[in-house]
Amino acid sequence: MTARMTPFELMEKLVSFPTVSRDTNIPLIDWVAEYLESHGIASHRYIHPDQPKHALFAHAGPWEEGAVVLSGHTDVVPVDGQPWDSDPFTVVERDGRYYGRGCCDMKGFDALAIWALVEAHHAGVQRPLQIALSFDEEIGCTGAPPMIEAMQPVLPKGALVIVGEPSTMQAVTGHKGGTGFNTHVVGFEVHSSLLHTGVNAIMAGAKLIEWANEVNTENMARKPSDLAAMFNPPFTTAHVGVISGGTAHNITAKDCHFAMDFRVVPGEDKDAWGTAYLEKVREVEQQMQEVVPETYIEITPRFDVPALQPEKDGLAETFVRQITGDNASHKVSYGTEAGQFQEAGYSAVVCGPGDIAQAHQPNEYIEVTQFEAGHQFMRDLLERLK
């Protein structure tokens, strides 16, 4: 039997795998499966049909329903162009912090979850514990839904899910949903001195981006619902973060690419925001085709993440609050896989070590005290399962 690794040793190992979302995560999953197997824990996988990516889930304790599920993702964001002071894929401790890509978001929690599962197995807990490790969370939470579906016929159904995104160990009971669309505006090139005879894809795309500005202004001015008022900001937002297109300053751009994303407050229909955007797209496309008929705008769905709806007397919230003693109300504007578990019939809450402000940053880190708080949380959780 392999020696039991500490949470820190597990985090070091997980961080050493450069599981950027564009790349494979299979070596990490293989290692986790082998480590669990060495302790007598069988693991199961969901295998992506088209990409070299796997999700892993496992069960410890009595083979019955009602498990606590610890959920994390294995992918991380790129480090390209970021000024790191050390190797991003080697955990470095300095000034009371653990530095490394994923230490905060969220291989620190993954390590704690793996540790807890092995401890639960050896302790012979009376209530089961499960872990679920997904992929592609960072590109729109696309890996969790098929993983959750694959879990259903294989493991006894869990009762509650703790999604360990960094929340400074506070119980987050609600977050915004999200939907996004890759947008490709196809114009018609002419010399810019004759721009009225062509269609500038960038300038046409700018009309859609300006629509997003107008939406944000209108939403900001509107009185929020009681539920929306719990969030910061207390309204749905439309956003474009990256844009590309054009070939020269004196040529009307033939192509323009950008993504239009919405972060939708609970209580609003995220599909309705997608429909509103598509209506604006068709309006702008018609204007383009009045000049050059063969121009068009291509829209491809990018992600679709449900909100985490606050639950009345939720099992997950109650369980976490009993451990942390945190009775304050916490809502966040970022999205997680918690809403996807909730849609699948689990009670869900977000609670994990670290501060979301450190996620995706150069020199990403988790405070040592936060990691230790996460470790203590897992110890207390195990006591409740005995």
> In 3-state terms, what secondary structure has residue 341?
helix
Q: Select which of 12, 75, 105, 367 is catalytic.
A: 75
Q: Select which of 105, 119, 136, 137 is catalytic.
A: 137
Q: What is the pLDDT of residue 230?
A: 87
**CA distance linking residue 112 with residue 323, whole number of Å:** 16
User: Residue 348 gets which letter from DSSP?
Assistant: E
Q: What is the pLDDT of residue 227?
A: 86
Tell me the Cα Rg of the chain: 23
Q: What is the pLDDT of residue 328?
A: 83
pTM: 0.90
The residue count of the chain comes to 386
Q: What is the pLDDT of residue 267?
A: 86
Q: What is the pLDDT of residue 1?
A: 63
Does 137 participate in catalysis according to the annotation? yes
DSSP codes, 68-97: EEEEEE--B---TT---SS-TTS-EEETTE
Q: What is the pLDDT of residue 327?
A: 86
Does 285 participate in catalysis according to the annotation? no
**CA distance linking residue 287 with residue 289, whole number of Å:** 6
> Average pLDDT of each block of 10 consecutive residues along the chain (386 residues)?
92 98 97 98 97 98 98 97 97 97 98 98 97 96 96 98 97 93 97 96 98 98 90 94 96 98 92 96 98 98 91 94 90 91 96 95 98 98 97
Q: What is the pLDDT of residue 382?
A: 98
